[in-house]
Amino acid sequence: MLARAAADFYWMGRYLERTEQTARLLEYQLERLVDTPAEEVALGWRVLYKTFGHPAPPLPNDADEAEVFLIADAYTLAGTFVEDDTNSNSMISCWSLARENAKQLRPWLPVRVWTCFNQGFMWIRDCDFSRAWAEGPAALALEAIDWLRLLAGVVDAMMARDDAWRFLELGRFVERLQHQTVLLDTWARLGQPGEGPRLSWSDLLRVSRAYELYRRRRSILVRRESALAFLVRNPEVPRSLRFAVHRIERLLSGIDPKGARYPLAAPHRLAIRLAATVEMELGGDDPDPEGEDGSFSDLLRDARKLHDLVMASYVNYPVERGLPA
């Protein structure tokens, strides 16, 4: 497969995943506006900003200020993540960037995939955020998620399981691994017991679409250690770190079947090591982000390195290395 096209598929996967992450976090945050103490909602905004690497808005000093702050600014804050095209993580930015990639991939994309993608783009481009807000703050995020699920279904049904699909999926799961790692890290740090507002662990499970399974497998009572461990190593939760890293490992085996035997290609080697880390080092009942080994920080660093290795191995390799023998 053409190296540039592979990179475009990979980035398209990343942007689509990022759009969904933004939409999921927004949905969570906006649904809480109704009945959650204002200080906790303010903390939620902080998590959202931190997860996407933005400077967090200042926290209010007390509950009264928080109330004012929230009512006045929830619309603006949400708008930043929906329609602000200067924010590279906003839904419109991510979708636009994904579409730029998709435009360059039209020879590889089944027509129905492109059409679905384009219709979704036109929906978000043309949607009236203030009107959607009036209908219900979380409605827009939910509809965006529906569009993304529709697209995922069309991709699943229409695309061959070739390198194009593998790079698309690889992008999605590398993005998911990085994002979930940051999310767990943020939650673990801001969810420490103490004074003031705290994050709810059941909310973390909900945001990660793992709450129902957790309740069935573990308990309705959600403990910090148990929730973190569940989201790190449970192989059945699509947003667990283990799920993501195993998908990455399998996709890389398909992309580089020679490397899947020996010698292993560099990204594949790192993916296997990441899988081992998630299963063994972070696999205990109490993954501690503040621990001496800085588990989540190390994992995030390696996940970023994985991205660099994918680009260096399959896209930006030196010409002399690529020449036929």
- CA 150, CA 157: separation in Å to the nearest integer? 11
The CA-based angle 82-308-24, given to 5 degrees, is 25
Question: Which residues 6+ apart lie within 8 Å of 325 measured at CB?
Answer: none
Nearest residue (CB) to another protein, 6 versus 228? 6
Helices (H), 191-240: 201-207, 211-217, 224-233
At 206, the amino acid letter reads R
Longest Cα–Cα distance in the chain: 72
Query: To the nearest whole angstrom, how small is the minimum distance from the Cβ of residue 275 to another protein?
Result: 22
Nearest residue (CB) to another protein, 15 versus 108? 108
Nearest by Cα to 123 from 105, 110, 142: 142
Query: To the nearest whole angstrom, how small is the minimum distance from the Cβ of residue 114 to another protein?
Result: 7
> Site residues for another protein, window 226-245 (CB under 8 A)?
none
The only residue of 108, 187, 214, 296 in contact with another protein, by rule CB under 8 A: 108
Any idea what DSSP says for residue 209?
T
Nearest residue (CB) to another protein, 193 versus 324? 324
Match 């260096």 to its residue by tokens. 312
The CA-based angle 72-76-77, given to 5 degrees, is 105
Asked whether position 193 contacts another protein by CB under 8 A, the answer is no
Nearest residue (CB) to another protein, 71 versus 122? 122
CA distances from 48 to 41, 160, 206, 266, 312 (A): 11, 35, 15, 33, 31
Question: Which residues 6+ apart lie within 8 Å of 117 measured at CB?
Answer: 98, 99, 102, 109, 151
Candidate segments 63-71, 96-104, 149-157, 290-298, binder of another protein by CB under 8 A: 96-104
The CA-based angle 168-48-22, given to 5 degrees, is 30
The only residue of 107, 193, 194, 196 in contact with another protein, by rule CB under 8 A: 107
Nearest residue (CB) to another protein, 43 versus 248? 248
The contact mask relative to another protein for 139-178 (x = CB under 8 A, - = no) is ------------------------x---x-----------
Candidate segments 1-9, 146-154, 188-196, 232-240, binder of another protein by CB under 8 A: 1-9
Q: Cβ–Cβ contacts within 10 Å for residue 30, how many?
A: 24
Question: Which residues 6+ apart lie within 8 Å of 72 measured at CB?
Answer: none
Whether the CB-CB separation of 274 and 307 falls below 8 Å is answered with: no
Structure tokens at 80: 């930043």
Query: To the nearest whole angstrom, how small is the minimum distance from the Cβ of residue 322 to another protein?
Result: 4
The only residue of 64, 75, 85, 106 in contact with another protein, by rule CB under 8 A: 106
Asked whether position 118 contacts another protein by CB under 8 A, the answer is yes
Query: To the nearest whole angstrom, how small is the minimum distance from the Cβ of residue 305 to another protein?
Result: 19
The only residue of 88, 96, 104, 202 in contact with another protein, by rule CB under 8 A: 104
Asked whether position 264 contacts another protein by CB under 8 A, the answer is no
Number of residues this chain uses to bind another protein (CB under 8 A): 30
Query: To the nearest whole angstrom, how small is the minimum distance from the Cβ of residue 145 to another protein?
Result: 21
Asked whether position 111 contacts another protein by CB under 8 A, the answer is yes
Asked whether position 96 contacts another protein by CB under 8 A, the answer is no
- Contact residues toward another protein (CB under 8 A) are 1-6, 100, 103-104, 106-108, 111, 114-115, 118-119, 122, 163, 167, 255-256, 314-315, 317, 319, 321-324
